[in-house]
Amino acid sequence: MDLLNVTAASIGSIIALFLLTKLIGNKQMSQLNLFDYINGITIGSIAAEMATSLESDFLKPLLAMGIYALATVLSDLASNRWLSARRFLEGRSLILYDNGKLYRNHLKRARMDLSEFLTQCRTGGYYNLDSLQLIVMEANGRLSFLPKPDARPVTPADLNMQPQPDSPQIPVILDGKILTGNLQDSGKDMQWLNHQLAMHHYTPKEVLLALCNPDNTLSVYKKEDTNRHTDRFQ
């Protein structure tokens, strides 16, 4: 009987978490502020306690989870509506480096020592501070970098070039299955797809992935069932 209760409670907590997540909205970890993070941990802890508790009263943990979820939604609404609420809940950006000057007090406020600061710079692809104009710690804890004009990558605009607009590849075959909706969205039909596959000497079932390119060609990747062992990436 206890196993049945745990199973039922686990399924119920999963459903509750799914519904609450839909209510709160999808966010990446980097987009979570401190309040969202704490509420997420608390809701997960309540769900785990609900799943393993042998008590038959599930209303109290569900109510508690709903209150925490509602608090998260209200905090997001307040952050979107009022700048002062956003600064209070999410914090403010800090300038750590500006035109050759390191701001020690801002590093202390960010609780970041120089070793971690340099590590974050290297992770961002910058090994020379002299090539940077500005470094900002955003409210989500990540560093943003503004390179100096002479250290920025060259763009077509710098060379007075006007490249043609590009568009993404559209998958039309996934694991041997033809995606007819994507094929229609790309402006192609089955006759075109069969012709392209015949040029590669493949049938749809032999294709792991096929992508429709902007230049009206098809990139085809065959199913490979063989294993390839290498130590190069260890």
Segments of the chain scoring below 50 in pLDDT: 29, 233
Instruction: Enumerate long-range contacts of 106-114, CB under 8 Å, 24 or more apart.
Output: 106/137, 110/137, 112/137
Domain shared by 5 and 79, yes or no: yes
Domain shared by 65 and 119, yes or no: no
> What pLDDT shows up at residue 23?
67
Within a domain: residue 130? Answer: yes
Domain shared by 81 and 102, yes or no: no
Q: List, for residues 89-114, the tens digit of each pLDDT value.
A: 777 888 999 988 999 999 998 888 88
Within a domain: residue 158? Answer: no
Among 127, 147, 123, residue whose Cα is nearest residue 135: 147
**Structural domain of residue 44, as residue ranges?**
1-87
Within a domain: residue 227? Answer: no
> What pLDDT shows up at residue 33?
64
Domain shared by 64 and 116, yes or no: no
Domain shared by 108 and 68, yes or no: no
For residues 89 and 79, the answer to whether their CB atoms sit within 8 Å is: yes
Domain shared by 34 and 106, yes or no: no
Of the residues 132, 147, 162, which one is the last residue of a structural domain? 147
Domain shared by 48 and 14, yes or no: yes
Domain count along the chain: 3
Domain shared by 64 and 137, yes or no: no
Domain shared by 74 and 15, yes or no: yes
Of the residues 47, 70, 87, which one is the last residue of a structural domain? 87
> What pLDDT shows up at residue 198?
93
Within a domain: residue 181? Answer: yes
Q: Is 198 exposed, middle or buried (0-12, 13-18, 19+ CB in 10 A)?
A: exposed
Global confidence as pTM? 0.56
- Give me the count of residues in the chain: 234
> What pLDDT shows up at residue 155?
81
Within a domain: residue 153? Answer: no
The Cα 223–Cα 44 span in angstroms is 40
Domain shared by 119 and 81, yes or no: no
CA angle 112, 115, 118 (to 5 degrees): 95
> What pLDDT shows up at residue 162?
83
Of the residues 47, 71, 87, which one is the last residue of a structural domain? 87
Within a domain: residue 232? Answer: no
Domain of residue 186, CATH code? 3.30.240.20
Q: List, for residues 1-32, the tens digit of each pLDDT value.
A: 567 766 777 777 777 777 777 766 665 545 56
